[in-house]
Amino acid sequence: MTVNLSQGYLFLIFILVGITIGILFDIFRILRRTFKTSDFVTYIQDILFWLLSGIILIYSIFIFNNGELRAYIFLSIFIGIITYILTISKYFIKLNVTILTGIKKIFNLIFKIILYPFKVIFKSVKIILVRPLNLLKNRLSKTATLLHKISFIKKKTKI
């Protein structure tokens, strides 16, 4: 399916493609700010960004310009990316980081609520099993210390 459009419309379409790539870039930036990731995951995200950007570009060039590469296409994509980054990007990032942070807090709260009964059970088991073992250990330790003192006293008195 190819569309025959004039160069002015193509210029505007590829500006929109540039804005789309800018939004995609910001989505990855938002994910990095919201969720702390390791270097390996960051590398994977970078590769994924470039693959998706390439697919968007190739698809757009083939659909809207019959696969023909023209300098104004790259210029319009560059203009779209720069326009997006200079105007909307910081608001888009701030809004989405706030939303994702709130969602993350809600999920953490739900997770804590779900895990709370298990914590109570674990503490009960710990109280039932561990405390008596600690008391036994303390008694044995005191007994060993007392026996050591008694044997030390016996050795002293023999001399």
Q: Is residue 89 part of a domain?
A: yes
Q: Hey, what are 152's tokens?
A: 């030390």
Domains: count for the chain:
1
Sign of CA dihedral 84, 86, 88, 92: positive
Does the predicted model carry a pTM greater than 0.75?
A: no
Q: Is residue 110 part of a domain?
A: yes
CA distance readout (Å), 90 to 68, 111, 144? 34, 31, 68
Q: Is residue 86 part of a domain?
A: yes
Q: Is residue 108 part of a domain?
A: yes
Q: Is residue 144 part of a domain?
A: no
- Do 76 and 20 form a contact (C-beta atoms < 8 A)? no
- Residue 106's CB is within 10 A of a number of other CB atoms, namely 10
Task: Please name which of 56, 57, 64 lies closest in space to residue 3, comparing C-alpha atoms.
Answer: 64
Q: How confident is the prediction along the chain (159 residues), in pLDDT tens digits per residue?
A: 555 568 889 999 999 999 999 999 999 999 888 888 888 989 999 999 999 999 999 999 999 888 888 889 999 999 999 999 999 999 999 999 899 989 989 988 988 888 888 777 777 776 676 777 777 778 878 787 777 777 766 666 665
